[in-house]
Structure 1
Amino acid sequence: MTSYMDYTSPSVQFTYDLSNNTTFKKDANNYINTLSIMQLNTLENTSLLDIYFSTANVVEPHYHQNAAELVYCISGSAVVSIINPFTNCLLHFPITPGQVANVPQGWWHYEIATIDNTHLLAIFDAPVPDTIFGSDILRLTPANVLAHTYCLNQAKVKDTLAPLQNTVVIGPPADCQKQEVAGAMKGMPQQKQPYINSIPANQSYFNQTYGQPLQPQPPQTQYPYQQQPYIHY
């Protein structure tokens, strides 16, 4: 990447305090600091999210249409979950301090903290990472379109999604009163489990027996184009 930065300019920046740019805060234990070229003008093609969250909190399902993401665990533990669009499998990667999980550009993913005081660093190969959140897809798509497309009850869809008035980012929302939120950790792979697990995308992750490792499953569907040689035009 060619840099056009004038490194002799008095405005050139080489350091930045991330605590000055908290872009989302759910509460004192769940928040995200952001660093991009907007904050540090010498970054070039790099940016990052400094993520703090506690047990059962989720960086909601989302994807980055312009960047790959490398998730590094600084402290605590988390599970990074990804849908592989080529195999149609949902993959789960438990990470602890010193371990990483990589999310290719444009892949649907989310992170769940498995203990308190979890601290992740998400590093991107873009000067500013763009993000499309699941909560925005759900709340901005008309209920009648969702109901018609997936043969659902429109009134139930509208009622279910009514509380989604804003982008969630870290869920559950601070005002969530549902008691079943605590049960979200059931079946979460523990640190002693195999490092990489995968299950088909349509199989419930949290229906696994607590404490048992998730066994890798073969893809449900093999698409013809996957077996074809790559052709340059």
Structure 2
Amino acid sequence: MRSYMDYSSPSVQYTFDVNTSPLFVKDKQNYINILGIKQLNSLENVSLLDIFMSTNNVVEPHYHQNAAELVYCISGSVLVAILNPFTKQLLNFQITPGQVANIPQGWWHYEIALQDHTHLLAIFDAPTPAVVLGSDILKFTPANVMAHTYCLDENQWKQAVAPVKPSTYIGPYKDCNRSYDYMNTQQYSQNPYGQQYWHYWG
């Protein structure tokens, strides 16, 4: 119990409609609702994202600097990809209704919907989930720093990241003219426990 919450106060909230709290909306099939302490002031060390996606849409690569995340699949199917910073392996887990994937705090990860009507709950052990998005890293890191650090051509880097929009959340963009079928172009092997090790992309 949080010691600073006055549960005798008439302002204490015990219920909330998450459908009224959008974090990001791409379209009617791809959007994220949020529940944190700003929406429900009686929450303790928990928050969630209510995520809806159609096939091949991606919750962009990101990490949560203040919380671990438990992804629970309600409907559809999703690939949860996690970069293990200790082994440098990209781990891929396909989960379906009733299954979960656990993402430790601060680990780089993303989710790809494998079916239409995919519905996920992302549950966090923090009253507000903080996030660092891949699109923000790409957009706001100066091009000359990236070019110098990684021995890149600065103009080519600028051209490559020019289409990136900050705070993408769910990609690809609605006006993206490129088609990409993730499931037909990836190759990975699966062990008996459902863990998939990345071999290559392309």
Asked if 2 retains the 8 angstrom alpha-carbon contact of 1:82 and 1:90, the reply is yes
Distance 1:148 1:157 in 2: 11
- Following superposition, the deviation at residue 175 of structure 1 comes to 1.6
Of 170, 173, 184 in structure 1, the residue corresponding to residue 182 of structure 2 is 184
Q: Specify the SS of the correspondent of 2:81.
A: strand
- Following superposition, the deviation at residue 76 of structure 1 comes to 0.2
Task: Map residues 199-214 of structure 1 onto 2, 5 A cutoff.
Answer: 199=198, 203-204=199-200, 206-207=201-202
Instruction: Provide, for residues 26-63 of structure 1, a one-character-per-residue CA deviation record: whole Å limited to 9, x for no partner.
Output: 00000000000000011111000000001000000000
Distance 1:193 1:177 in 2: 36
Q: Specify the SS of the correspondent of 1:158.
A: helix
2:10 paired residue number: 10
- After TM superposition, the runs of 4+ consecutive aligned structure 1 residues lying more than 6 A away are none
The change in CA–CA distance for 1:33 and 1:156 in structure 2 (over 3 A counts) is same
The change in CA–CA distance for 1:150 and 1:65 in structure 2 (over 3 A counts) is same
Q: Aligned Cα RMSD in Å?
A: 1.8
Distance 1:93 1:189 in 2: 13
Q: Which runs of 5+ in 1 are unaligned?
A: 208-233
The change in CA–CA distance for 1:193 and 1:30 in structure 2 (over 3 A counts) is farther
Q: TM-score with structure 1 length normalisation?
A: 0.81
- Following superposition, the deviation at residue 167 of structure 1 comes to 1.4
Matched, 1:196 2:195: yes
Larger Rg: 1
Instruction: Provide, for residues 152-175 of structure 1, a one-character-per-residue CA deviation record: whole Å limited to 9, x for no partner.
Output: 111111011111232110000122
2:84 paired residue number: 84
Instruction: Provide, for residues 161-208 of structure 1, a one-character-per-residue CA deviation record: whole Å limited to 9, x for no partner.
Output: 1112321100001221123x3x32324589x98521123xxx42x44x
| Aligned residue pair count | 200
Distance 1:22 1:189 in 2: 35
Q: TM-score with structure 2 length normalisation?
A: 0.93
Distance 1:16 1:141 in 2: 38
